[in-house]
Structure 1
Amino acid sequence: MDRDERARLEVVVAQGERLAPVAERVHAHRQEVTRAADEAGARLTSRMTRLRPSGTRGWRVLALGRGDDVLLGQLVARAALTGLDASEQEVLDDLALRVPRAVDAARALVGLRRLVTFGARRTRAETQARWLLLHQRDWGADPEAWLARMDAQTREPTLPLAPDAALHPHVGLVDLLGGPTDHQQVVALGDAATVVDAPDAPDAPGAPDAPDAPDAPGAPVAPHALDLRDLPAVLPPLATVITRADEARQQALTAGEAVRAVAADRLLAQMPVDRLREATGERLRIGPLTDAGITTVAQVLARDHDAPDLEAVPGVGPVTARRIRGAAQTLRTLALDDAPVRLDPDDRTPQTTRLLERLRTWDLLRQTAKATDLVALAQTLLPLADHVTDRTTHLAVLGDAPVEDLLDLLLPVLERARELRDALARAQQDDPWVDFADRPAHYLALLSELGLVEETGTHGDLPEDVVEAVRAQELDTAYLTVPLRGYQSFAARFALVQEKVLIGDEMGLGKTVEALAVLAHRATEGARWFLVVCPAAVLSSWVREVDAKTGLEPRRLHGTDRQAELARWRADGGVAVTTYSTLASLGEDLGGFEVDALVVDEAHYVKNPTAQRSRRVAALVARTQHVLLLTGTPLENRVGEFATLVGYLRPDLLDGLGDSPVDFRRRIAPVYLRRNTEDVLVELPELVEVEEWLELSAADEVAYRDAVAAGSFMAMRRAAFASGRRSAKLAHLLEVVAEAEENGRRVIVFSYFRDVLDRVAASLPGPVFGPLTGSVPPARRQQVVDDFSRAAGGAALVAQIQAVGVGLNIQAASVVVLCEPQLKPTTEWQAVARARRMGQLQTVQVHRLLTEDSVDERLVELLSAKAGTFDRYARISETAQSAPEAFDLSEADLARRVVAAERARLFPDEDGTVMMGR
């Protein structure tokens, strides 16, 4: 190496000694910042969730929270490092890693040290010297300034970055999450989720200026009422609700069997050991058991289970013991098969309480599971819930669709999830018997759906081929929010299979919900326009039932807002509810408009084919594919009227029909379904009917004789109340009501006559509601009934029998008083059914107030034939073109016969001499 090379080497070595420490510091800093950023990026991206709900192109979502500002700051620190190309990076690597070693070795060739350096050390020094001289030119014109700029960054602290700036391009997170998209924004969580614009990242040494944020994406939008912080807690139950509903159903079944077992054990505890003989065809010696104090089958089972020593009983050997055990087990099996599952508030066993709890939980879960779209979305969102914790404060969202669309999807899911969580929590905390008392029919329907209560007569008198077709019909209850009894489900499927039907179930069995089940099923098939025609008295009830028991929209086509509701119904669909009278004014609006299903409630209103409303309904029936005529009283005075209703549906069924009830029943079977209360509601409390025969008081006799003399049938019927408190009927009525109120029972008092109701209401001392008469608007009637139902303890509702006999449900009452016999058997049956219907928990007492030697006796005699005729024809789903004379009797004929009979009894002589008594 000559002098010039040595001189150059001295300069290079000196420069390397100055640059190397700085380069080492810069290099180490950059490596540490990069390492930290890599780890931060890995931790952040591990929490990214890819969401692709059905019908969307999907989003990438990153949950950010407390502590993530440090990780984001580490990403920013890496992004802020001075950018180096490959050659610059190579220079930095050389200065930091190789130059220190080369300078250390080449220093041996500088100054006097070159004179004492020999051998391998000199060779190594020369090699490094040549490398330094060769690469010194790569360091650039001013490497000191270059390194100084980067060295300044080593003294800058890593600052945290607020999560709302996470998606700023300068941060680099977007690239880590898969690259930019059309829409990318940060959602700040809290009481309301807010989509925020991405602000500029904080300035950092060496960081380029951030570009202006575009108008979209990133434009602020209105906050959403959405708090995702409890997503991990509430979402999984919703996502797994289908499986949990199945599990809850099985738990309810198990709880029901436990109740059945308790009932069976109670029966066995009362069953004498003599019954063991009936369980086996062999002779058993029972005497030794009774001698040993074993008197019941339950004691036999307990003795055998707890201390298997039947053989030790004197007189009982091994063979006899084996036969006794077998007989006892057979009886227990039979008892379990026959034991009822009853929910009795007066017998709250741990098993029935647990059953109620299980039923409520199952009902909540299965109703939620019907929201299949929300459940599927909840399942899609589960991975996001795994990454959201109590430390999460923001969501970084990137997608091809606006972020607001994702929030709009999340909102209903989160709301339903919270509703489910809260409802399940209440179900665990609340007394289940309180809810049962409020909704007994609902729970009994759940028992029916589980097969835990017996139902017979479900099929009515339908032929087997129709029954089989109905069984094969599926019923989609996605739009139905209440459970169905087995017989109710059958009726709905019958209507779907046969399309045009008459449902004649007895009152209280739930014809309304059967019709709603049909509409709900048709809605799942895409049907949108449904029409219900009903009497004005029940219009409000129909609107409330549609709203409460289905997911369909009720439309009230009645009153001042009728036209606006009609326009909404025609545009958007729903269940339009109108009255027979309003239907007349809707003729042009419904002309040519196709209705997907028609329900005609209280269809006996159109039994007269010549009436205008009957013609309007018939025209609708003729052009509608699915039709349900509903009536609990298809026959009243003339059997031919029933044929009229059948004729609306299937006129061909009446062609060539004879007058045989058997033939008529067979012919109309395809359209007519009727079930009786006792056949399907086996759990319904007992009906106790009492005919209270009373003697007319002296004042009553005077009023009654005057009415007969005047030939006034109506005055005769109410004469027993004309004398006020001197009336035998009123006095006894007060006793009945007083006793009922002392026992905490509510009472309904029915009369045909308003003046009778006024006297009763004025005479009753306790809480009195009413009188409800035909002049009281339907909405007000319902309000009075609601107030009566909520009254504490005993109370009385006074009502005109024809005003409340249709549409109103009064399960709160368990005592019914009929002030006088009615002219139609169905009128009384309807009145009693107002209280004795599904959901009633108490035995219903019916008190008929009757006076001897009066119009009451004549009416009872004549009407008994009418009731028997109705049973023979209507109650077994059959009728005829004609009926016995007693049934065809009109009210006018009835009045004439009664007045004539009473005049003949009281005034047999033409001179007017009165003969008292019979």
Structure 2
Amino acid sequence: MRLLTDDIPRAIDDVQPLLGMRRFFTGAATKQTAEAAAAFLRGHHAALTGWPNRAERLGAFRGTFDQGRSGFGALLDPALGFSLVARYASSRPELLDSSIFQGLPEALDVIARVIASEEQYRAAASDAAEKVRRADVRRMLQEMPVDALRTATRERLRVGVLSQAGIRTVQEVLDWDAALTELPGIGGTSAWRILGAAHTLWQTTYDEMPVRIDISNRSPETTTLLRRLAEWDSCRQTRGASADLKRAAELAPLRTTITGGTSHLLVIPTRELTAGELRESIHIVKRRAELLDSSLSSGGPTLGGDPWDDFLSRPADYYAMLAELGFITEDENAAHGDLPEEIIKAVRDQTLSGEHMTASLRGYQSFAARFALVQRKVIIGDEMGLGKTVEAIAVLAHLRSRGESHFLVVCPAAVVTNWMREVAGKSKLRAHRVHGPDRERASRAWMRDGGVAVTTYETLAWWGPTFSRHRDLACIVVDEAHYIKNPQAKRTVRTTELIARADRAILLTGTPLENRVAEFRNLASYVRPDLTVDASDLSPRMFRRQIAPAYLRRNQEDVLTELPELIEIDEWLPMSSADASRYRAAVQSGNFMEMRQAALLEGRDSEKMKRLIEIVREAEENERKVIVFSHFRRVLDLVCQSLPGPVFGPLTGSIPAHHRQHMVDQFSAARHGAVLVAQIVAGGVGLNIQSASVIIICEPQLKPTTEAQAIARAHRMGQVQSVQVHRLLSEDNVDQRITELLAEKKALFDEFARVSEMAESTPEAVDLTEAQLVKEVLAAERKRLAEQASNRHVSH
């Protein structure tokens, strides 16, 4: 208060001799006093104007101030000359007492320290990535012959003298450096030119070298990088708090203004700021500081174990961090698909809140989410494996941060479990399974509390009348959108009614546009009936141009520059009634092997086989080849009978080795969509099958090493496509029990393998024995099925 009532008015009076013509007639002592007063005013003006342009119009004090007035109300006396009060205030000025801003300086300090700490870990991760990059460049140049110097200089260099001196590679040239002049036949000029060419090759290699994480070559540099990335990720407490951090930055100038003796803040309202908004900002910043303070008190991340384990469990998060650091460059134009420039600009300008996300997004994934937000109702047709699910979840999370509450996912029954797990694992949103025996309870909970309702096309027939009473639907996601390609189908009618009702809609499909023009025309009409699609010209180029405002499609090769990548997808599927009947009979008879096969032995009537055929069809449309692995010959025979396209096999242990390779060669020479059907213990060893990039494993294996060896047949050096692994797993049967038991054994195996080579050469030493597994699973399944039967009996 004294600052405004005494100090500043006195300083304004003191500075007057420096203004106008008076400065030429002022004495030295008066000038000195005036300059001191000017410095004083400049300092306080800077502090006040630190708040973005909100207090810069403080007027000079002129007139008579009533010294008889007392209290803080005196600050509002017009005689003080606050032109901001008189001319710019949108409402009456307010005084905030210390209870409002008490603790704000400390909160701002906490936020500043957290940001600095995160920057430290980010810098460490960046340094580690740089070392990996340079190590990879060095390894590449160690394999690059010195003849490359001639090619790089268009045959202008003679490198024979280098070979004569025993220098074979470009890296060896760089290692010799200036010492090249000591070699016979190389003068200073020649050495300078050779080194210049070598450095040019180094720079070109460096510029084009993305940071790769090769699971088959776990170098010390890469292991350190994974650890640094994990540390950075674990301490990133501010992810999703960009809005709060912006408020903190705006409040930062108050940090130096508020002291222990500050009892009130005078708030002069403007169009940009009111007292209520300032009060809210202070509250939000103090709350954010409380949330972040725990990360400081913990002393930073403490990570144990092998960082490769965490990487293998969530590789997409690590690649997203590398992309954020700039070590994986994405083709920005490829990320845009075929979108027009005006839409691209709008998408770039669209913000994306990460407040309710727990997963990192790649750049192209963020672009897809922002595209959906800008265009409101869209089709995302990214190739399978690019993360369409997480793109859609990012949209829902953003809308939740903007106050929306109710979201709906409609999908085939086979992927309900996947959606439930993805929503829970990638976001803070609550997922409700409105499908199956608990659908009524889940429906009521969703309508009451909000979240993401996951249901099926068939369940909509039951839910429709109830759902129609709920009007608040912020966004609907339609997965496997080709299920509604037929406008006359009942499930299409039910789904499109919801699309029309919802504020936003996202249709997901991995089917390329060129192969399904007519179906895509239908899908486009659901999300954008205003688009004019010329049916007389269905050429892909013309159709892409017409559908561009509503359709985004990217291929893996376009946006995943770190290929080959391993993408593992656990496909949790329900059992059909026929599957369940066969399974119960197998459990009752104690036939463990029959239990493992039960979900496939009904052929095309089994849920696993339906999903397998769907994956093969989509792989063909995406110009890929498939390997199907199973332990059982009977399953392999059924797969061969059920698939319509070119099928090779079954490749089994009874086939001689040279015949196996011939079969692989035929498969490699076949067209896209070809399928190699192989017994996992036979096809999983000794064969290189890089021509395949989609792997389907029909049932979980009894040894963790078996699947890894099979996957390595395709995911290895020479593979030019990302490798997708689809594990077909049935809910509530032996697959789930085996998976749960092996998860514990895998941890033991990993620990054993790190300290002994014996585990690699003799995995049986620690793998779960078949006899032990059979005993445990049979007991658990008999108990579970008995309890189910008892519950059904009681309910009746």
TM-score category of the 2 structures, normalised to the smaller one? 0.5 to 0.7
Contact kept, 8 Å, 1:537 with 1:778, in 2: the verdict is: no
| C-alpha distance 680-364 of structure 1, shift in aligned 2 (>3 A) | same
Structure 2 distance, partners of 1:716, 1:372, is: 52
Q: Alpha-carbon deviation of 1:468? A: 2.8
Determine if contact 1:531/1:577 at 8 Å carries over to the other structure.
yes
1:554 alignment partner AA: A
Match of residue 487 from structure 2:
609
Matched, 1:336 2:170: no
Contact 2:210 2:561 (C-alpha < 8 Å) held by counterparts? no
Deviations 1:765-819 (A, max 9, x none): 9899xxx9999557986666666777759x9xxxxxxxxxxxxxxxxxxxxxxxx
Look up the SS of the partner of 1:618 in the other structure.
helix
Indicate which of 446, 460, 473 corresponds to 1:595: 473
Which string of whole-angstrom CA distances, capped at 9 and with x for unpartnered residues, describes residues 661-693 of structure 1? 22112111111112222322333438996899x
Q: CA deviation at 1:606?
A: 1.3
Whether the aligned pair in 2 keeps the contact of 1:242 and 1:369 (CA below 8 Å) is no
Name the amino acid aligned to 1:327: A
1:299 is aligned to 172
SS at match of 1:461: coil
Q: How many residues align?
A: 513
Residue from 494, 499, 504 that aligns with 1:626: 504
Indicate conservation of the 8 Å contact 2:433/2:454, yes or no: yes
Alignment of 1:652-663 (within 5 A): 652-658=530-536, 659-663=538-542
What is the rounded CA distance, in whole Å, between the counterparts of 1:278 and 1:519 in structure 2? Answer: 53
Q: Check whether the contact 2:653–2:681 (CA below 8 A) recurs between aligned residues.
A: no
Q: Considering only aligned residues, what root-mean-square deviation do their CA atoms show, in Å?
A: 5.2
1:362 aligns with 2:232: yes
1:529 paired residue among 390, 406, 411:
406
Q: Does 1:426 align with 2:299?
A: no
Alignment of 1:557 onto 2:434: yes
> After superposition, where does 1:367-516 map in structure 2 within 5 Å?
367-371=237-241, 417-418=293-294, 424-427=300-303, 429-456=304-331, 457-516=334-393
CA–CA distance in structure 1, aligned partners of residues 654 and 311 of structure 2: 43
Change (3 A) 1:792 1:364: closer
- 1:614 deviation in Å? 0.7
Q: Distance in 2 between matches of 1:579 and 1:715?
A: 26
Q: For CA contacts below 8 A with separation 6 or more, give which structure has more relative contact order.
A: 1
Contact 2:697-2:727 within 8 A present in 1 as well: no
1:466 is displaced (CA, Å) by: 2.5
Q: How does 1:176-187 map to 2 (within 5 A)?
A: none
The change in CA–CA distance for 1:538 and 1:784 in structure 2 (over 3 A counts) is farther
CA distance in 1, matches of 2:729, 2:312: 32
Q: Which residue of 2 aligns with 1:90?
A: none
Which sections of structure 2, spanning at least 5 residues, go unmatched?
1-97, 100-105, 261-284, 567-623, 661-676, 709-725, 750-796
Matched, 1:264 2:137: yes
Give the C-alpha shift of residue 461 in structure 1.
2.5
> Quick one: which amino acid aligns to residue 504 of structure 2?
H
- Equivalent of residue 684 in structure 2, options 740, 761, 770: 740
Question: Displacement of 1:750 after TM fit?
Answer: 6.4
The answer to whether residue 564 in structure 2 is matched with residue 685 in structure 1 is yes
Measure the CA separation in 2 of the matches of 1:633 and 1:447.
29
Deviations along 1:853-902, one digit per CA (max 9) or x if unpaired, are: xxxxxxxxxxxxxxxxxxxxxxxxxxxxxxxxxxxxxxxxxxxxxxxxxx
Code of the aligned partner of 2:320: A
Could you say which residue in structure 1 is the equivalent of 2:222? 352
Of 98, 115, 124, which residue of structure 2 is paired with 1:251? Answer: 124
Q: Give the structure 2 partner of residue 94 of structure 1.
A: none
The answer as to whether partners of 2:346 and 2:374 remain within 8 angstroms in 1 is yes
Q: Distance in 1 between matches of 2:311 and 2:437?
A: 39
* Distance verdict in 2 for CA 1:580–1:774, change over 3 Å: farther
SS in structure 1 at match of 2:458:
helix
User: What's the secondary structure of 1:610's corresponding residue?
Assistant: coil
Q: Which residue matches 2:48?
A: none
Q: Which amino acid aligns with 1:321?
A: A
How far apart are 1:528 and its partner, in Å? 1.7
Contact 1:536–1:778, Cα closer than 8 Å, also in 2 = no
Match of 2:278 in 1: none
Residue in 2 that maps onto 1:670: 549
Instruction: Check conservation: 2:239, 2:354, Cα contact below 8 A.
Output: no
CA distance in 1, matches of 2:647, 2:195: 68
CA distance in 2, matches of 1:580, 1:788: 34
Q: Deviations over 1:278-329 (max 9, x none)?
A: 333682232222222222221221111xxx2322322222222222222121
Instruction: Please give the alpha-carbon distance, in whole angstroms, between the structure 1 residues aligned to 2:362 and 2:235.
Output: 18
Alpha-carbon distance between aligned partners in 2 of 1:715 and 1:622, rounded to the nearest angstrom? 37
- Tell me by how many angstroms 1:424 deviates: 3.9
Q: Is the Cα–Cα contact under 8 Å of residues 653 and 679 in structure 2 kept in the other structure?
A: no
Alignment of 1:901-916 (within 5 A): none
Cα 1:782–1:511 change in 2 (3 A) is farther
8 Å contact from structure 2 (residues 237, 295) kept in 1? no
- Report Cα offsets for 1:435-462 as digits up to 9, x if no partner: 2222222212221232312434322232
Q: How does 1:772-851 map to 2 (within 5 A)?
A: 777=731, 792=746
Partner of residue 650 from structure 1, selected from 525, 528, 533: 528
Are residue 288 (structure 1) and residue 288 (structure 2) matched?
Answer: no
Q: Give the aligned partner of residue 113 of structure 2.
A: 240
Give me the whole-angstrom Cα distance separating, in 1, the residues matched to 2:565 and 2:462: 46
Distance 1:362 1:716, change over 3 A: closer
Residue 319 in structure 1 maps to residue 177 in structure 2: no
C-alpha distance in 1 between matches for 2:115 and 2:473: 34
TM-score (norm 2): 0.55
Q: Is the 8 A contact 1:600 1:628 kept in 2?
A: yes
The 8 Å contact of residues 701 and 707 in structure 2, kept in 1 or not, is answered as no
- Residue 443 of structure 2 corresponds to 566
Q: Which runs of 5 or more structure 1 residues have no equivalent in the other structure?
A: 1-180, 183-231, 388-408, 698-702, 705-711, 752-756, 796-918
- Structure 1 distance, partners of 2:219, 2:139, is 12
Question: Partners of 2:242 and 2:542 in 1: how far apart?
Answer: 47
Is 1:576 aligned with 2:453? yes
**Deviation at 1:356?**
1.4
Letter in structure 2 aligned against 1:668: I
Aligned residue identity for 2:142: A
Question: Residue 548 of structure 1 corresponds to which residue in structure 2?
Answer: 425
Alignment of 1:210-221 (within 5 A): none
Give the TM-score normalised by the residue count of structure 1. 0.48
- 1:179-210 per-residue CA deviation (whole Å, 9 max, x = no partner) reads xx99xxxxxxxxxxxxxxxxxxxxxxxxxxxx
**Per-residue deviation, 1:719:** 13
Sort the Cα spacing of 1:472 and 1:314 in 2 relative to 1 into closer, same or farther, 3 A.
same
Q: Distance in 1 between matches of 2:549 and 2:199?
A: 46
CA distance in 1, matches of 2:314, 2:532: 42
Q: Cα deviations across residues 559-591 of structure 1 (Å, max 9, x unaligned)?
A: 444344333333332222222222222223332
**Which letter maps to 1:574?**
G
1:627 to 1:791, Cα distance in 2 relative to 1, 3 A: farther
Contact 1:529–1:573, Cα closer than 8 Å, also in 2: yes
